[in-house]
Amino acid sequence: MSTHLVTGQLPVSRLAGSQLATAATEHRGLTMTLFGLFVLATLGITVWAGRQTKDASDFYAGGRGFTGFQNGLAISGDYMSAASFLGIAGAIALFGYDGFLYSIGFLVAWLVALLLVAEPLRNSGRYTMADVLAFRMRQRPVRTAAGISTIVVSIFYLLAQMVGAGSLVALLLGVEGGAAKRWTIVAVGALMVVYVAIGGMKGTTWVQIVKAVLLIAGTALMTVLVLAKYHFNVSALLGAAADASGKGAHFLEPGLKYGVTGTTKLDFLSLGLALVLGTAGLPHILVRFYTVPTARAARKSVLWAIGIIGGFYLMTLALGFGAAALVGPKVIKASNAAGNTAAPLLAEKLGGGAGSTGGAILLAVISAVAFATILAVVAGLTLASSASFAHDLYANVIRRGKVSEKEEVRSAKLAAVAIGAVAIVLSIFAEKLNTAALVALAFAVAASANLPTLLYSLFWKRFNTRGAVCSVYGGLLSSVLLVVFSTVVSGKPTSLLPHADFHWFPLENPGLVSIPLGFLLGWIGTLLSKEEADPAKYAELEVRSLTGLGAH
């Protein structure tokens, strides 16, 4: 239920007989050309950015030279994954109002980042999230914990995007079979490694900016076309969507997806908490704040991001209801059970329908935008996790800080290759994994392990090393274990292991339990430790985070 629809599973077997597949096969050349153009353009940017990348601050933080607006676009490009574009539009098309609930959590979450995290992080950290968590603690244990949690969150997120990418690209190109999917995963993985290893943060940021502009332009075009069909009367669009859905007014009310039983309602509450508290703990989002020169610019970038992301989610509402009204749930479900192809199908319809040239062109454009979306997001994730490996685990834990800048950056590039390889292999083996559960899990881990530790570090004077270690590992382990013992893994036909049943945790999203637990363990760990927090270090962190004195 709840979590299934974000990126959703993409059962390609359902493809047979769908009109999208036929259209995609006929116009594969055009789609491939547009994919190719995007890849060439971004590779050009990457090579250019690679030449500009000279030191560690260039590689990890893009030289801290981006403006608030540029970084706001890049944050949006990092955040609006294929899950948002295809998943939410599809969920609205199939489940009406309940698909919209995701957008709200994903947007409101940015206020946590704006008010509590972005500026202090920019001022007190250097390259990674762990810089802030370890600021006034013993370096090695806290950096180890934060590095592990960064890599775990990023890998979950990365897997979700790559498994989704494999099925999605196969679907959009109209190719069937496991081989095409696997080659897509390999190609996406290789590209993201190239972006990161050669272009560093500069290259990755520009890829995300280009992608954000393409995605917003594509979505805006479709939104205008949909609204024009209803003479810009929103109520008429809603009415048509409700009629076509076969569910009448219920389509426009909450409950179709989540209101089934008491457990699903609690599960939705759990998901809602994870969404709203997870964003400000996602490492690949946090490192974006280091790419601007000042805390003020970091604030500006979040303000831009809130505007862009909010506008985008409002447009997905028009896309989703438009797809329900114009394409209809039957056709959408026949193409993809989770609704992930609703937006491309709508594009084809808006261009003139199946078989028309206009339809084929718009379908190819929107497919290419979806592809660009996936590439930009996976590049951001690879960069954040390899940066944390090199800067936190290798330079500060293994080599105890005795490492040259050159060596550190080289280890980050090697880490990007290694993480890319791991992600490719895991994605191929995890093909059947529920990708949406992975996204929700990434948010839940970020909210349970990273956010409590970040907030305590910044705002609680007494917080100490043991507290930090307890909240990171406690939040991480509890959220992962609760998912292992939920129906995501066993006990249901849709589980990862459908034939086994060892589940005892009733919810699919662990947030309702693991987030309070992360906060609680950080508090208990602090009180149980004999270590006294160093007031001088906290004074320095406070002065630095609020004024920017001594910031990198």
Partner 1 sequence: MESPPPTSTEQPSVQRIEETAEFRELRRSFRSFAFPVTIGFILWYLLYVLLSSYAPAFMATKVVGHVNVALVLGLLQFVTTFAIAAWYARYADRRLDPPAAAIRARYEAATVHAPREAGE
Tokens of 39: 């890849």
Spatial separation of the C-alpha atoms in residues 282 and 338, rounded to whole Å: 25
Q: Smallest distance from the beta carbon of 483 to partner 1, in angstroms?
A: 21
Spatial separation of the C-alpha atoms in residues 146 and 152, rounded to whole Å: 10
- Kindly tell me which of 28 and 250 has the beta carbon lying closer to partner 1: 250
CB-count burial class (<10 Å; 0-12, 13-18, 19+) for 31? buried
Task: For residue 116, state whether it binds partner 1 (rule: CB under 8 A).
Answer: yes
Of 189-197, 200-208, 376-384, 530-538, the window that binds partner 1 (rule: CB under 8 A) is 530-538
- Kindly tell me which of 84 and 495 has the beta carbon lying closer to partner 1: 84
* Residues 340 to 359 in contact with partner 1, rule: CB under 8 A: none
- In the three-class reduction of DSSP (H, G, I as helix; E, B as strand; rest coil), residue 171 is classed as helix
* Residues 289 to 318 in contact with partner 1, rule: CB under 8 A: 293-294, 296, 299, 302-303, 306-307, 310, 313-314
- Kindly tell me which of 92 and 165 has the beta carbon lying closer to partner 1: 92
Task: For residue 513, state whether it binds partner 1 (rule: CB under 8 A).
Answer: no
Distances (CA, A) of 400 to 133, 140, 484: 17, 8, 35
In degrees and rounded to multiples of 5, residue 137 shows phi and psi of -110, 175
Task: For residue 550, state whether it binds partner 1 (rule: CB under 8 A).
Answer: yes
Spatial separation of the C-alpha atoms in residues 344 and 336, rounded to whole Å: 11
- Kindly tell me which of 282 and 302 has the beta carbon lying closer to partner 1: 302
- Kindly tell me which of 175 and 282 has the beta carbon lying closer to partner 1: 282
Of 174-182, 204-212, 263-271, 334-342, the window that binds partner 1 (rule: CB under 8 A) is 263-271
Tokens of 244: 């076509």
- Whether the CA torsion 109, 112, 115, 121 is positive or negative: it is negative
162 CB contacts (<8 Å, ≥6 apart)?
185, 188, 189, 378, 423, 424, 427
Task: For residue 385, state whether it binds partner 1 (rule: CB under 8 A).
Answer: no
Task: For residue 255, state whether it binds partner 1 (rule: CB under 8 A).
Answer: yes
Residue 78: name the closest of 277, 275, 308 by CA.
308
* Residues 386 to 415 in contact with partner 1, rule: CB under 8 A: 391, 395-396, 401-405, 408
- Kindly tell me which of 457 and 486 has the beta carbon lying closer to partner 1: 457
- Kindly tell me which of 38 and 258 has the beta carbon lying closer to partner 1: 258
* Residues 186 to 225 in contact with partner 1, rule: CB under 8 A: none
* Residues 71 to 100 in contact with partner 1, rule: CB under 8 A: 97, 100
Of 87-95, 122-130, 150-158, 423-431, the window that binds partner 1 (rule: CB under 8 A) is 122-130
Q: Smallest distance from the beta carbon of 358 to partner 1, in angstroms?
A: 29
* Residues 146 to 185 in contact with partner 1, rule: CB under 8 A: none
Exactly one of 41, 43, 108, 417 binds partner 1 (CB under 8 A); which one? Answer: 108
* Residues 442 to 501 in contact with partner 1, rule: CB under 8 A: none
- Kindly tell me which of 414 and 477 has the beta carbon lying closer to partner 1: 414
Residue 340: name the closest of 162, 169, 105 by CA.
169
The distance in angstroms from the start CA to the end CA of the chain is 45
Q: Do 244 and 329 meet the contact criterion of CB atoms below 8 Å apart?
A: yes
Tokens of 384: 């954040």
206 CB contacts (<8 Å, ≥6 apart)?
42, 45, 49, 199
- Kindly tell me which of 27 and 299 has the beta carbon lying closer to partner 1: 299
Q: Which residue, chain included where needed, has tokens 């202090």?
A: 120
- Whether the CA torsion 518, 523, 529, 535 is positive or negative: it is positive
Q: Smallest distance from the beta carbon of 511 to partner 1, in angstroms?
A: 12
Tokens of 78: 């990092």
Exactly one of 272, 278, 339, 518 binds partner 1 (CB under 8 A); which one? Answer: 272
| Total residues in contact with partner 1, by rule CB under 8 A | 79
Exactly one of 8, 72, 125, 166 binds partner 1 (CB under 8 A); which one? Answer: 125
Exactly one of 228, 234, 425, 497 binds partner 1 (CB under 8 A); which one? Answer: 234
Task: For residue 16, state whether it binds partner 1 (rule: CB under 8 A).
Answer: no
Q: Smallest distance from the beta carbon of 13 to partner 1, in angstroms?
A: 33
Spatial separation of the C-alpha atoms in residues 435 and 423, rounded to whole Å: 13
Task: For residue 127, state whether it binds partner 1 (rule: CB under 8 A).
Answer: yes
Exactly one of 139, 356, 494, 529 binds partner 1 (CB under 8 A); which one? Answer: 139
Task: For residue 101, state whether it binds partner 1 (rule: CB under 8 A).
Answer: yes
In three state form, how does the secondary structure of 321-332 look?
Answer: HHHHHHCCHHHH
486 CB contacts (<8 Å, ≥6 apart)?
503, 505, 506, 507, 508, 510
Interface pattern 48-67 for partner 1 (x via CB under 8 A): --------xx-----xxx--
Task: For residue 137, state whether it binds partner 1 (rule: CB under 8 A).
Answer: no
Tokens of 166: 């494999």
CB atoms within 10 A of CB 50: 18
Q: Smallest distance from the beta carbon of 548 to partner 1, in angstroms?
A: 6
